[in-house]
Amino acid sequence: MDKVESLANQIFEDYKDYGVDRKEIVEKLKKLLIEFRVPENEAIRTIRNYIIREYGAPATIRRERITKIEEIKEPNKWVTVKAKVIQLWESSSPSIAQVGLIGDETGYIRFLVWTKAKKQPVEEGKSYIFRNVVVDDYGGVLRLNVTKISEIEEIDEDVNVKQPEELSEDVEVVGALVAIQQNSGLIQRCSVEGCNRVVKMGKCPEHGKTRAKDDLRIKGVLDDGYRTYEVIINEDGVESLTGINLEKAKKIAEETLDRGAVLTELKKMLLGKYLRIVGTATPRYLIAKHVEFFKPDIRKEIERVKAILEEV
């Protein structure tokens, strides 16, 4: 109840000059927060909008709490952030309208806009206020979800951010390859100089119908027991693991009359296998520079376990 009173005081202080009734604010907060279990940010937004509509108060009077990205530490929290869209990525699901990376001066975080939210698309390089977005944890990585009750407002301010290139680092990861995604195997890329984007149904997302060139890669998910990584393994890495290079992949496709046969073969050979990957970790992908099957030294592992047990 103290929380309700505190929130009512905040709202009343903002709008007391417009003839609002504090008791009315308290009753509406009780109903929204206690009876209907509406999230706190949404309850406040609903009451503010009611006051603006019924009492003629200006919308600009709203004072909202902007959360810095570095303050986002755990899932299941509703926040409002002011950030710039650093990158937009290709959505892997029709249920997701947009997915990408946003940042402010304190850090960066992934975000996604659900298709059912029916929001206007955001653009790379522009800054926005993302209101009432919920934090979730996907594969050990925090994300912001834009839902139906969220708001996205473009702002004139140019939010200062670090570029993703400054945030990449070289890492070594050992884990199980738990998934190989679509757009893996024998794929086609746009041949326009400097593009190299994946061509689907004969069309490049950037240049439309274009001449395509073949390529071989794996886009997969590696699980190290603590978190998951979206990994990209290029032709050289695929060949070192499977013996299949681009020419052999083309031959498999020709013999079966099915380009998808290459992906099927790669899944048979690699799914569930433990890999050691050395590469560059970016905000989205772990890009493999070197990849090999993980072969643990049993003696060393036994000694390591013994040392742990002795400490216990």
Which pLDDT score, from 0 to 100, does residue 1 have? 55
* Positions in the chain whose pLDDT score sits under 50: none
Helices (H) and strands (E) in the chain, counts: 7, 14
* pLDDT on residue 255: 94
Predicted pLDDT at 193: 86
What per-residue string of b and e applies to 108-125 under the rule 16 or more CB within 10 Å gives b?
bbbbbbbeebebeebeee
pLDDT at 191 (0 to 100): 87
Q: Give the DSSP letter string of 148-212.
A: TT-EEEEESS------GGGG-EEEEEEEEEEEE-SS-EEEEEE-STTT-PBPBTTEETTTEE--E
Where are the strands (E) in the chain, listed by range?
78-89, 96-104, 107-114, 127-138, 141-146, 151-155, 169-180, 185-190, 203-204, 208-209, 212-223, 228-233, 274-281, 285-293
Give the whole-angstrom CA distance, residue 84 versus residue 108: 9
- From 290, 156, 283, select the one nearest 229 (Cα to Cα): 283
Please tell me the distance from the alpha carbon of residue 39 to that of residue 184, in angstroms, as a whole number. 40
- The total of other beta-carbon atoms located within 10 Å of residue 6's CB is 10
Question: According to the model, what pLDDT value does residue 172 have?
Answer: 93
**Cβ–Cβ under 8 Å, residues 119 and 146:** yes
Spatial distance between the Cα atoms of 93 and 239, rounded to a whole number of angstroms: 29
Domains in the chain (CATH in brackets) are 2-61 (no CATH), 69-162 (2.40.50.140), 168-187+215-298 (2.40.50.140)
User: Which pLDDT value is given to residue 125?
Assistant: 93
pLDDT value at residue 229: 92
- Residue 60: the pLDDT is 67
Pairing state between β 107-114 and 141-146: parallel
Residue type, 32: L
- The first and second tokens of residue 204, run together, are 């490049």
Task: Please state whether beta strands 96-104 and 78-89 pair in parallel, antiparallel, or not at all (unpaired).
Answer: antiparallel
Q: Are the C-beta atoms of residues 25 and 12 closer than 8 Å to each other? A: yes
